[in-house]
Amino acid sequence: MIALGRRNFLQLAASAAALPGLPGIAGADGYPSRPVHIVTGYPAGASPDIIARLIADALSRRLGQQFIVDNRPGAGSNIGTEMAAHAAPDGYTLLITVSTNAINATLYTKLNFDFAKDFAPVARVGVTPFVIVANPSFPPQTVPELIAYSKAHPGQVNFATQGIGTGPHVAAELFKMMTGADLVHVPYKGNYNSDLLGGQIPLCFASIAQEIEFVKDGRLRCLAVTTAMRSDALPDVPTVAESVPGYEAVGWYGICAPTGTSKDIIAKLADAIITCTNEADVTSKLLAIGVVPKSMTTPEFGAFIADETEKWAKVVRFADMKVD
């Protein structure tokens, strides 16, 4: 199934880049002539929402039409993803795509869409580390201290994420697998920051974009970033790999469109997204929230999604994670 998914994404990417437009579906002439909706499967304030709004604003300026972020949270982002999958392939409904979408392809046993078949890649925006963040009252201040503390308090150290199988959750499961840390997952349907700031839950695995301002103003403490290298946004924060050699987990953001969207529209969107991502203003805003602008063309993004789907499928199966 995973191999088929890889072929689907590569074929869709190649089709968007090279094949003639589909009959009966408008090309890019005059596009967009009305507002475009960018669907996100997450609530306002979550990192995909933050990135979607930044890109939507840039695209609105560049293409001269309003791009609107449409929040459809729930079911590990699948509610929003399903809505986008079933939307008309006319370029007026897009999906902010994140690592969770690649994870869910294996995690969920019953979905009303097939991510590999129902979406065509458009372009990647950038990548970001996840972070391990704690309330300042939580005793551990380093990764080794967290591992030791969790083992000394089995079943008592809860950590929040925005849902089962999200990128931060799978990053946490990889952390548990490699360290033996005894951490209890508490998935939230919405934003958990009020509980984290209030001390009702001591710890979270999250996108850096969602927590960086709280870390910078001292309301939360960042124990580590999950990338192989330290983040320029938080240069004093160590990587997990400095204590756990070989550990690495990376989040990413991009745009996909419903399969069947004309190659001309996809090409126009991809060009606009890549151009916007490389603009100094957008680049600085992305870097400020810990997202490294690393755009990818349509074929590159299709191959990348296929590889990510295979990678996280192994972790999901190893951890025996399944959701109906």
Q: pLDDT-based confidence at 24, cuts 50/70/90?
A: very low
Number of Cβ atoms within 10 Å of the Cβ of 71: 18
Name all domains of the chain by residue range, CATH numbers in brackets. 2-128+252-318 (3.40.190.150), 129-242 (3.40.190.10)
Of 173, 201, 166, whose CA–CA distance to 186 is shortest? 201
Q: Is the pLDDT of residue 320 over 90?
A: no
Q: Out of 19-28, 46-55, 199-208, 270-279, pick the least confident.
A: 19-28
Token readout for 274 is 């890549």
Q: How far is CA 241 from CA 53, 63, 186, in A?
A: 32, 42, 24
Which pLDDT belongs to residue 4?
46
pLDDT tens-digit profile of 148-201?
A: 999 999 999 999 998 888 889 999 999 999 999 999 999 998 789 999 999 999
First to last CA, the chain: 17
| Averaged pLDDT of the chain | 90
What string of DSSP letters covers 15-81? HHHHSPPPTTS--STT--SS-EEEEESS-TTSHHHHHHHHHHHHHHHHHSS-EEEEE---GGGHHHH
Amino acid at 36: V
pLDDT tens-digit profile of 85-95?
A: 999 999 999 99
d(CA 189, CA 125): 25
CB of 135 closer than 8 Å to CB of 143: no
Q: pLDDT-based confidence at 209, cuts 50/70/90?
A: confident
Q: Is the pLDDT of residue 18 over 60?
A: no
Q: Is the pLDDT of residue 19 over 60?
A: no
pLDDT tens-digit profile of 126-145?
A: 998 899 999 999 999 999 99
Which pLDDT belongs to residue 175?
95
